[in-house]
Chain A
């Protein structure tokens, strides 16, 4: 409250301003709620705060991996476009754009599943202008598979986190990825149809260059509603992107793809 006080010099009552609750704005609600943060924010305006990142934390790892996913989106989208660059048919373009959109969406879905939260509303992107009915009931899974132990350790066959998921489509089955690799790799399964007990996965071929094919990949029914992909990445397999076509022997047609990316 405002107070009226005696002036010491001439004894005339003089009022003083009240004491305010605070003398400045709250710039950070987090800081206001936690006045003793663990992180070192520094004082100098030009000093960049040095906040350590815990790379063992699963969320941290997921976010970091997200950066690589972005690179991959761009790469794959461009590659698809390049493959279709010579064709000028509208249908080819529709397929291409739909594929690009799908690829990106699938990777986002898989990456996002690391956080265990619902997907955001589907972004129409270019897909909204290039609807691809063939993909309407498709489902897919992908992940960055990182060995649970350190990279010099024994080979691991356990499915990486996020490898098992329920597809966004209620009609879709679950997919289980069993990747055996010493190195972190990215695997995408893009399957447009279900039903067969045993799919046939052709050899994974390098997207470019002369790297050897990867053989022995299988995709088979697992559980009552899901499928399981088994993929063994040789230790000496050159870095790069590899693709394989999935065939459904029951209908004798291609029903999907597997994409493997081994980073440099």
Chain B
């Protein structure tokens, strides 16, 4: 144990905060950092928190899919599970491979001109390696690498289109022509067109092949030289393929990807992104769609389900307004390139239980073993600053929401068939005055209610030396009032780094998806209707829950939740209830109408939802038999309107206002979260983990910056 330990107060228990704790308590530090985590309510996880509800069902904050390029996040979890060293004979999720399973099947919904919805499906290929593997082939990715991969992608798409044409109907035989003159004429024309198309594609394929080779050999500094070349390909492809691809949906979709890829390559060259000191940041003032249009993408491609899916996955709608899709172009480009060209194993990885059980319970257990203290039921109220010569945090003021009768640490996990899990409610029997708290209807995670009044003030030098502020950006104006008022940079950050409320619901069904009318396997789909544009089939979780009669399908839906007004102050105690009711109504309306596009058999002759399909977790225990849409009340839904629960947006023009965890304006304070300037400035697990690593570096200089994969990235 280090003789002169440094006390670190970590406020918040989400991905970023716990990553920082994991780093600071590694053996390499030899116990130098004495870490205490202060967490409001009863569970860790932040926006990734989940809990177990009735029948052990998993209740999530929202839909969480891990992506195959989350190198830092996977590395963290792999190390965590290794250290956890669970016995597979005793725990069904003992290793990280038990915890995460590859999932390559994804889709984007598109509406045809006649109003019909069609799903654009893709089974993305398995890539070499696994996310989080220690040895990366390339320590950093360059624009040249991406351009080469983009050229290879173009070629593949072109060849796919060619294959489709080549396997079309063959020209009629002479004998046929004699007996079917009309048919012969048509076939002759078709053959002519097909030959012309193939000729065109032959030329384009070669052009793209050459492009890839040129990029390999020509320095990225020659980007401007390559521009005419790419433009020639773009122009030819656009002119020559327009009619070809309009023949069928599949070709049109392939062309959409080509069109967007060509526009991206053109934009990279036009804006000199390969060599610009600011990398992709230089185009962050543009909206992604605007930037693609500027660089030659067609309106049709920009409006495609593919691009809408990108926005949907990032809730990228300002104020939740579907009419205002807004996503900073540079960050969007970084996201797309990382997602499509750097994933390992599968494109998506699905957790095999709730995110709380898969991520935060193991982290809690490992960190607890390392000696980290967890102070649950501590809600931060104010950060006090000493504004002297050395600006620093001098106090942290908490509202203590609940205490244990003896002052012993709260033990937060429950056992669900051998797996440590988080409950959806506090474990009341561990709390003092639990009956009174329950009668008062205390919701310890709710922002919009008055403090409990049990104040605790931590002092610098006594209770802490360093502070890691790991709360959501939405809460910063409320708990850092002094800083936001006096520090222009913080003021700009909270003004510009905006968030959006989200909504989600989960249903457990008595019929499997095939019986519901979905012909394909388990899928993740975006680009669907408002109010729920994203659906993920989570049926694989049924075995993990604890039902008497296991549901045959589980579906998660989510979307942004449009703001009705600016975030109100804390006195607005009805705010959560009001918005929960909005989400409930949205979900019922969605099931009673739009779901028929996905699950035609889930609806009756009049198109209304068959509510009896919903499995009730309480059935068999009480004489409860809700009918009609009231049966939806047995399912789970959430309105994420608490400021710290809101999703962080990457709006055009906003990213420059983010502050890095490395910033030293306050010499004992660092920040952590996907809202910080962490290298990958988007709302996701990977960003949060990177930010946590930066926060740890800010305090200990470990990990080294070049060990944060993807931090140094265009």
Measuring CB to CB, which residues of chain A are less than 8 angstroms from any residue of chain B? 1-2, 4-5, 7-10, 12-32, 37, 39, 41, 45-46, 48-49, 51, 53, 59-60, 63-64, 66-71, 73-82, 84-86, 88, 93, 96-97, 100-101, 104-105, 107-108, 111-112, 115, 117, 119-120, 123, 125-126, 129
Contacts and interface: CB of A to CB of B under 8 A. Distances in A.
Interface stretch (B63-71, B255-263, B387-395, B622-630): B387-395
A27 B714 contact: yes
Contacts of B204: 73-74
Contacts of B679: 25
Q: Which of A12, A53, A126 has its CB near the most chain B CB atoms (within 10 A)?
A: A126
On chain B, which size bracket covers the interface? 35 or more
Contacts of B460: 7, 12, 14
B461 A85 contact: no
A10 B214 CA distance: 66
Interface string B263-293: 0000000111011111111111110000000
B711 A81 contact: no
25 contacts: A2-B6, A8-B389, A14-B392, A16-B390, A17-B698, A17-B699, A19-B664, A20-B698, A21-B705, A24-B677, A27-B276, A30-B221, A39-B221, A45-B285, A63-B218, A63-B225, A63-B226, A64-B229, A67-B231, A71-B236, A73-B204, A77-B202, A79-B199, A100-B199, A120-B212
Contacts of A120: 209-210, 212-213, 216
Nearest to B209: A123
A20 B4 contact: no
A81 B166 CA distance: 14
A66 B214 contact: yes
B198 A63 contact: no
B143 to A, nearest CB: 9
B275 A39 contact: yes
A67 B199 contact: no
Contacts of A32: 277
Q: Which of B197, B270, B705 has its CB near the most chain A CB atoms (within 10 A)?
A: B705
A135 to B, nearest CB: 14
Q: Nearest 9 pairs between A and B by C-beta?
A: A27-B279, A81-B199, A73-B203, A104-B206, A77-B199, A45-B285, A85-B192, A31-B277, A67-B232
A68 B232 CA distance: 7
A115 B215 CA distance: 12
Contact of A129 (B166, B210, B280, B677): B166
A30 B220 contact: yes
A158 B386 CA distance: 79
Nearest to B655: A45
B151 to A, nearest CB: 11
B240 interface: yes
B210 A41 contact: no
A115 to B, nearest CB: 6
Nearest to B678: A25
Given A15-B465, A30-B275, A63-B226, A86 B390 contact: no
A70 B233 CA distance: 7
A85 B191 contact: yes
A24 B462 CA distance: 32
A45 B282 contact: yes
A2 B231 contact: no
A26 B220 CA distance: 16
Contact of B284 (A39, A45, A60, A85): A45
Nearest to B701: A18
Interface in B179-219: 187-188, 191-192, 195-207, 209-210, 212-214, 216-218
A88 B189 CA distance: 10
B390 A85 contact: no
B281 A27 contact: yes
A231 to B, nearest CB: 24
Nearest to A45: B285
A4 B2 CA distance: 14
A93 to B, nearest CB: 7
Q: Which of B197, B210, B214, B663 has its CB near the most chain A CB atoms (within 10 A)?
A: B210
Contacts of B271: 48-49
Contacts of B388: 8-9
Contact of A70 (B229, B389, B711): B229
A63 B222 contact: yes
A17 B670 contact: yes
A112 B210 contact: yes
Q: Which of B202, B221, B279 has its CB near the most chain A CB atoms (within 10 A)?
A: B202
B300 interface: no
Interface string B402-431: 000000000000000000000000000000
Q: Which of B188, B226, B662 has its CB near the most chain A CB atoms (within 10 A)?
A: B662
Q: Which of A59, A68, A77 has its CB near the most chain B CB atoms (within 10 A)?
A: A77
A221 B138 CA distance: 50
B272 A51 contact: yes
A26 B712 contact: yes
Interface string B625-649: 0000000000000000000000000
